[in-house]
Amino acid sequence: MPSLTALILGAGSNVGQSLATLLKQKGYAVALGSRNPDFDHVKKEGFFPVRIDVSKPESIKDAFATVNAELGPPNVVVYNAAVFKAPTDPTDPLSLPLEDFTEAVFTGLGVFVAAQQALPGFRSETHKDSTKTFIVTGNLLPFLPPTSPSYLGLDTQKSIQARLVDLFSRVYPKEDIRFYVAHLVSSTGTIPPYDVFKTSGPTHAQVYWDLISHKEQLNWDYRFTVDGNKLPNYD
């Protein structure tokens, strides 16, 4: 049986931790990527810690090289990283410092770097018979009018990611490689309260596992509710 390996980029205490626990239960070796990992704690929990800054392409490349060498190439990659920096004046989008906007943009572009690094492993003999899935934790900002200056950086970041995944999901399923942006939404399809998101780790984990386990590419723009079900009447 091929070695099943997952790499979670942006492995925080909510979505990342819940998904890592579930994947480990499913037989995966799981690498957790974060800026400042607690190496001893992560190892005691049964995971492989990796230092990574997703706003820096070389850091992403180094993380994949480390995981490939230590665990083998991942057949599941989850891009759970995000950065939010608000303008100094919440009514003025151009008051966002350039360095903060640049960090947001490069965090969006990190999906391109991560997907490019993942592709050789997806195509390798190691995973010839494995499921191969790349999931981005998204939100609805790219699909809404840009009315909030406060979210300029995050909106741009998520819009870049959505555009990339939309294209990738059209190209790579012919190689049995699936790409998704997955969004938690309210029961009416709107952005849920942040308090709901903060406790949604187990729901995200189950939904992501359902996507990983599914044999064919579903709609790349995958919207699900807090009960873990696909948003009704949305394809």
CATH, residue 116: 3.40.50.720
Evaluate whether residue 229 is within a structural domain.
no
Average pLDDT along the chain: 96
Helices (H), the chain: 15-25, 39-44, 57-70, 98-123, 152-171, 194-198, 201-213
Which amino acid, one-letter code, is at 21? T
- Name the β-bridge partners of 180: 135
pLDDT in tens, 124-153: 999 999 999 999 999 999 999 999 999 999
- The pTM of the full predicted model, rounded to 2 decimals, is 0.96
Sheet with 76-79: strands ordered across:
48-51, 29-34, 5-9, 76-79, 132-137, 177-184, 221-224
Place of tokens 């190439």: 73
Residue 2 has pLDDT above 60, yes or no: no
Q: Which two tokens stand for residue 183?
A: 């969004």
**End-to-end CA separation in angstroms for the chain:** 34
Residue 93 domain boundaries: 5-224
105 lies in a domain?
yes
> Could you report the per-residue pLDDT of 87-98, keeping only the tens digit for each?
999 999 999 999
Using DSSP's 3-state secondary structure scheme, residue 67 falls into helix
Q: Tell me whether strands 177-184 and 29-34 are parallel, antiparallel or unpaired.
A: unpaired
Q: Is residue 233 part of a domain?
A: no
Q: Answer yes or no: is 127 within a domain.
A: yes
Domain for residue 235, yes or no? no
Strand 76-79 versus strand 132-137 pairing type: parallel
Q: 150 lies in a domain? A: yes
Phi, psi torsion values for 175, nearest 5 degrees: -100, 15
Tokens describing residue 216: 């064919």
Pairing mode, if any, of strands 29-34 and 221-224?
A: unpaired
Token code pair at residue 95 = 């008051």
* Residue 40 belongs to a domain: yes
Local structure of 38: helix, strand or coil: coil
What is the number of structural domains in the chain? 1
Give the tens place of pLDDT for each residue, 46-69.
999 999 999 999 999 999 999 999
- 69 assigned to some structural domain: yes
Q: Let me know the angle formed at the C-alpha of 26 by 46 and 206, rounded to the nearest 5 degrees.
A: 105
